[in-house]
Structure 1
Amino acid sequence: MEYTVMLPAAGSGKRMGAGFNKLFLEIGETPILIHTLRVFDSDPDCAGILLAVKPEERGQIQDMLGQFGITKVKALVDGGEERQHSVASCIEAHEGAGVVLVHDAARPFIRRDVIRKLVDMASAKGAAIAGVKAKDTMKMARNGVVEKTVNREALYIIQTPQAFRYEVLHEATKKAEEDGFLGTDESMLVERLGHPVHIVESTYDNVKMTTQEDLVFGEVLLKRKQEEDLDDADRTRL
């Protein structure tokens, strides 16, 4: 089933401490943004990519798209002050209906099988988000003092992509704008409507490149992915 993906790429990446858009940082001599775009550009089910960017970075990103042969970007829209505003701009630029995904441009290691499960779930149920179960003991604390230990069996660490039928996400975003509500992710906006949001199991490799330590981990993940691709190619030749 086809889908359209929206990528907010207008952040500043302050926690990375690079002094510029962290998406331009490289893993294996290729910008993070391009690694992420390649996942969707190479997916036959991806009908198009909408990219929210800073106006002053538009030219640089257009040059990168040409340099690395990215062909499915249908529009570069102006990003906003907050992620929610950038996604709203992508929603307005989207033509058509169907399933839409919102994905962090700084998560280059999302697996295609997870994308497929999200699209199928969103098509059937209206809303689906990627997540992994919490592995560590979780405690609720106030002012640095533990109040209680939380049952981690019921806790998920939420990632992206987050997938929705277009009309569900459009309604949720419009309602949030009318109410002056700013959410932490798209799922939160949909939850406000009382719409059920289903979790699809993702992988712990789907890391968001946020800090310098993440870049080191990213190099390891990229090397492993390249080795897996070589193994797959060898098996195909056999």
Structure 2
Amino acid sequence: MGKVSRKPHVAAIILAGGYGHRFGRDTGKQLVKIVGCPMLSWSIAAFDAVDDVGLIVVVCPEDRMQEYWAQAVDPYSFATPIAMAVAGDTRQESAFNGLEATPSEYEFVALHDGARPLIAPELISHTINMLKGTIDAEGAIVATPAIDTLKVVSSDNVIVGTPDRKAFWNAQTPQVFRSNIYRRAHASALRDGFIGTDDSALIERLGGKVLVVKGTRDNIKLTVPEDYAVLSAVVEKSSRSKHEGE
């Protein structure tokens, strides 16, 4: 099925530039198969299912572009146009390269980790709509409330405080921003030599208002080998539920 006829306003930038050293495979993790499909394909498919998304930019290592396209894109009938951009030495550089490959006609950009294959299209749409519906906000990110007790620890490994965890959230992706402020934020970070731990940090340092959308704890990022079993189990359970409901 194709996209709806109205003009989409969002470009999705999927960051797939990591080599997955912590995952322990020389071939990386983006093409690791989960229930028969490369992990990267699951992430692409989620954004492909969102009507507001009119372009998907996959950011990956230059020497693996053909491989990624052949295995994660070409075998699938994605309705959304897909482009590729070269990954940088850091996540922030990769995000910037993806932004540079995004035409200025898109009012919003959505950044997502290619290694988070369980993101639901409904949550992507909800995050986009939350930002679109809040005129004075520059961004909206998916996150989950912290559930573990947090400790503030000194450099010599001594606990110096126990903050109220109600104020802390675990940031995930997607993170959606108005394109104009996101471009300015990258230009400012580049000029000042600032490196953020996520995309939202670039907006925050300019005083931008970023909303939090409550996500799900199964929107995990594949980082270490034990994450694979969790991801596979969730996808298999979801697939069985869909088949049983048909």
Q: TM-score, normalised by structure 2?
A: 0.90
Q: 1:70-89, aligned counterparts within 5 Å?
A: 70-89=78-97
Check if 1:52 corresponds to 2:47: no
Kept in 1: contact 2:18–2:28 (CA 8 A): yes
Question: Is 1:119 aligned to residue 131 of structure 2?
Answer: no
Residues 1:28 and 2:40 aligned together: no
Aligned to 2:4: none
Equivalences for residues 125-140 of structure 1 within 5 A: 125-140=137-152
Tell whether 2:220 aligns with 1:207: yes
AA at the equivalent of 1:99 = F
In 2: Cα distance, 1:219 partner to 1:183 partner? 31
* Alpha carbons of structure 1 residues 179 and 185: separation in structure 2 relative to 1, 3 Å: same
Q: CA offset at residue 73 of structure 1?
A: 4.3
- Which blocks of at least 5 consecutive residues in structure 1 are unaligned? none
Preserved contact between residue 51 and residue 73 of structure 1 (Cα < 8 Å): no
More moved, 207-216 vs 141-150: 141-150
Per-residue CA deviation, residues 130-164 of structure 1 (Å, 9 max, x unaligned), is 10001111111123221111111111011000000
Q: In 2 relative to 1, CA 118–180 (structure 1 residues): closer, same or farther, beyond 3 Å?
A: same
Deviation sequence 1:70-112 (CA, Å, 0-9, x none): 3524321111001111111111111113111000000011122
User: What is the rounded CA distance, in whole Å, between the counterparts of 1:131 and 1:54 in structure 2?
Assistant: 27
Partner of 1:198: 211
Match of 2:187 in 1: 174
The 1:66/1:104 distance shift into structure 2, 3 A limit, reads same
Give yes or no for the alignment of 1:14 onto 2:26.
no
Moved more, 154-163 or 113-122: 113-122
Cα distance in structure 2, aligned partners of 1:94 and 1:219: 32
* 8 Å CA contact 2:31, 2:68 repeated in 1: no
Is the 2:47–2:124 Cα contact (8 Å) retained in structure 1?
A: no
On the 8 A contact 2:10/2:106 being kept in 1, the answer is: no
The answer as to whether partners of 1:97 and 1:167 remain within 8 angstroms in 2 is: no
Q: Distance in 2 between matches of 1:231 and 1:203?
A: 23
Contact 2:61–2:86 (CA under 8 A) maintained in structure 1: yes
Q: Structure 1 stretch 16-25 or stretch 78-87: which is displaced more? A: 16-25
Aligned to 1:222: 235
User: Which range is displaced more, 36-45 or 181-190?
Assistant: 36-45
Given the superposition, is the C-alpha separation of residues 208 and 90 from structure 1 closer, same or farther in structure 2, using an over 3 Å criterion? same
Contact 2:31 2:40 in 1 (8 A): yes
Shift of 1:223: 1.2
Residue of structure 2 aligned with 1:109, choices 118, 125, 144: 118
Local SS of the residue matching 1:40: helix
Distance 1:116 1:19 in 2: 35
**Conserved in 2, the CA contact under 8 Å of 1:129 and 1:198?**
yes
SS in 2 for 1:18: coil
Structure 2: distance between partners of 1:148 and 1:168: 36
Identify, as 1 or 2, the structure richer in helix. Answer: 1
**Unpaired runs of at least 5, structure 2:** 1-7
Percent of aligned pairs with the same residue?
A: 29
| Aligned partner of 1:160 among 173, 184, 209 | 173
